[in-house]
Structure 1
Amino acid sequence: MTASLVIEVDRDSVAMGDDVSSHAHSLAVEPGTALSVVLASAAPEIRARGWSWVADVDGRVAAVWSVDQGVRLLVEDSPVSAADGPRRIHFRYFLQIDPAWLYQRLAEGAVADRQALERDYRPIGDRRRDEEERRRERDSPARYLSAECTEALRGFGAEFDLHNDRMARFALLGSSMRVQRADTMTMTFDVTNRVVSSIRPVAVAECWLVAVTGRRMRQARGWAPVPDNPRIPVPELRPMGSGVAGTARWTTRGMRGDPVVQLTGDEAVLAYRLSANRSIGEIVTILSAR
């Protein structure tokens, strides 16, 4: 009886927390098995559509793997053997780069440099995502932000470019903001794609968003700033690690049913102190007063 060939398999971590435990394991295969079959058996257990992985076999780029397209070899589909191996397979995570595009680039001879390929793919990916978001906007009347929130934002000068069931994007005083659902959180991004806030539930996020836009409107019109005097108990914020360029970040403890609020920068904190435990109508009244 022919002894099995034991191959060491590992993969990149895909996010914080994914590296808590090792992904390394051993895979026993029968000599003579095609490399494509081995790679399919060794593929990452993360089955997310649109995610791409590059398989390195004994240090050589051998294939692109994805849930969408399976194994696409960049080398000959030769049988594995005890003499020739392989001994090690490592799957490198190439983010949400389209697997067909990635395979084509590598087949044409591009170096499997994730940073460089991600940079090349970004305009294509951005265009495709925008097309998908606009399709959702056309096909469904559902909108992520409530009518009350949308009206308040427009009243403070927001001009909506896109609004569907999971995302809103608008211009405000020459800048842009993007609000979108991420699992149970509502995340807000500024013009540089920096995360400014991540809040749950969405009603709390809407109040915060109205406070941010209203404060900016007052500043643009030269009105006096609203005093930083909440007068209503505000859930405690505690420091998190610094963000981009050392910008301070803050979070609530998320205890006793309090909202989960994560903020970046002083402006975000001041808006939260104003909006916490107030309704959209109350916030609009405060920020509209001369």
Structure 2
Amino acid sequence: MTDSFDIEVDRDSVAMGDDVQSHARRISVMSGTTLSSVLAEAAPEIRSRGWSWVAEVDGRTAAVWSIDRGVEMLVEDDVVIADNAPRRIFFRYFLQIDPEWLDRRLVDGAEANRRVLEREYQPIGDRLREEEDRRRERELPGRLLGVECSAALRGLGVEFDLHNDRMARFDVFGSLWRVRRMDTMTVTARGENRFLSSIRPAAVAEVWLVAAVGQRMRQVRGLPPAPDRLLSHPDLYPMSRGVFREPRWSTRGHPTVQLTGDEAVHAYRVSAGRTIAEVGQILDAR
């Protein structure tokens, strides 16, 4: 009879909304399995192309994993038996650093320091992403934001710089906003990656986006904040503060909403339970 043993597996969270629940789990592995096969079985359930992960086995950097290239070992691909079986595998998220580039740098001896490697890769990644985003905008018919949402934003004065099937980038009265789909979450950031919201489902995110941009429009035009005529009373719970030490809140259950800053919360209070057309009427109020 072949022995088997359990290994603890965990991973980083990838975005606001992904950290609501623990990712820790256990897998059962048969004795005699190669380490690369163990890592392939333990790999993160997020299957997004272009995303890179570094696998740590009992704290030692062991491999790069991506859906694009699978497991790329950085150590010997030993056969795992009870005597040498790892106790814990942790997958560290290395953002959208190209997995081939990341593997090559680690093989060449670079330390698996995400912040350092992210800075090194950034100009390369920015150029490649911009080229790919422009190609998708030209060649693919789909758009991230729906027709009604896009029209409402244009009506509020938004100028789209880029809009394809996975990203929208636009100017809001001198401030650059980015909306992306990250796994199942619609994530909105302003300026230098200052996160505003992470929302699921997309329809709820679009109504919130119109409310948030409309608020900004009212500020620029010297109007008071949109009337807070609550249709429902969304329960928001405090979270740890964000990167810029701004307060954050989240819902529990459906819909999944995480917000950063008072303006984002006010936009949600205006948009919760409403349609884009209804939010537009509120924004037009004097």
Partner of 2:247 in structure 1?
Answer: 248
Normalising by the residue count of structure 2, what TM-score does the alignment of the two structures yield? 0.74
Partner of 1:125 in structure 2?
Answer: 125
Q: Percent identity?
A: 52
Partner of 1:213 in structure 2?
Answer: 213
1:10-21, aligned counterparts within 5 Å? 13-15=11-13, 16=19, 17-21=21-25
State the alpha-carbon separation in 2 of the partners of residues 146 and 55 from structure 1. 38
Q: In structure 1, give the amino acid aligned to 2:257.
A: V
Q: Residues 91, 99 of structure 1: CA spacing in aligned structure 2 closer, same or farther, 3 A cutoff?
A: farther
Q: Residues 275, 80 of structure 1: CA spacing in aligned structure 2 closer, same or farther, 3 A cutoff?
A: closer
Deviation at 1:270, TM superposition (A): 1.7
Partner of 1:233 in structure 2?
Answer: 231
The answer to whether 1:101 aligns with 2:101 is yes
Deviation at 1:62, TM superposition (A): 5.9
Structure number with the bigger relative contact order (C-alpha 8 A, sep ≥ 6) is 2
1:269-280, aligned counterparts within 5 Å? 269-280=265-276
Structure with bigger gyration radius: 1
Gaps of 5+ in 2: 14-18
Which of the residues 28, 33, 36 maps onto 2:31?
28
SS at match of 2:141: coil
Partner of 2:182 in structure 1?
Answer: 182
Q: In structure 1, give the amino acid aligned to 2:31.
A: A
State the alpha-carbon separation in 2 of the partners of residues 147 and 129 from structure 1. 24
Q: In structure 2, give the amino acid aligned to 1:236.
A: P
* Mean CA deviation greater in 278-287 or 167-176: 278-287
State the alpha-carbon separation in 2 of the partners of residues 39 and 219 from structure 1. 57
Q: In structure 2, give the amino acid aligned to 1:237.
A: D
Does the CA contact (< 8 Å) of 1:7 and 1:88 recur in 2?
Answer: no
Aligned residues: 271
Q: In structure 2, give the amino acid aligned to 1:194.
A: R
Does the CA contact (< 8 Å) of 1:228 and 1:273 recur in 2?
Answer: no
* RMSD across aligned positions (CA): 3.7
Does the CA contact (< 8 Å) of 1:50 and 1:98 recur in 2?
Answer: yes
State the alpha-carbon separation in 1 of the partners of residues 274 and 63 from structure 2. 54
Deviation per CA, 1:65-92: give whole Å up to 9, x if none. Answer: 5454355455678x8799xx96759665
State the alpha-carbon separation in 2 of the partners of residues 277 and 10 from structure 1. 41
Does the CA contact (< 8 Å) of 2:227 and 2:282 recur in 1?
Answer: no
Q: In structure 1, give the amino acid aligned to 2:235.
A: L
State the alpha-carbon separation in 1 of the partners of residues 247 and 58 from structure 2. 43
Q: Residues 278, 38 of structure 1: CA spacing in aligned structure 2 closer, same or farther, 3 A cutoff?
A: closer
Q: In structure 2, give the amino acid aligned to 1:192.
A: E
Deviation at 1:94, TM superposition (A): 4.9
Q: In structure 2, give the amino acid aligned to 1:213.
A: V
1:185-200, aligned counterparts within 5 Å? 185-200=185-200
State the alpha-carbon separation in 2 of the partners of residues 43 and 173 from structure 1. 47
Q: Residues 9, 113 of structure 1: CA spacing in aligned structure 2 closer, same or farther, 3 A cutoff?
A: farther
Partner of 2:164 in structure 1?
Answer: 164
State the alpha-carbon separation in 2 of the partners of residues 144 and 56 from structure 1. 35
Q: Residues 26, 240 of structure 1: CA spacing in aligned structure 2 closer, same or farther, 3 A cutoff?
A: same
Partner of 1:40 in structure 2?
Answer: 36
Does the CA contact (< 8 Å) of 2:231 and 2:274 recur in 1?
Answer: no
State the alpha-carbon separation in 2 of the partners of residues 115 and 203 from structure 1. 34
State the alpha-carbon separation in 2 of the partners of residues 240 and 190 from structure 1. 21
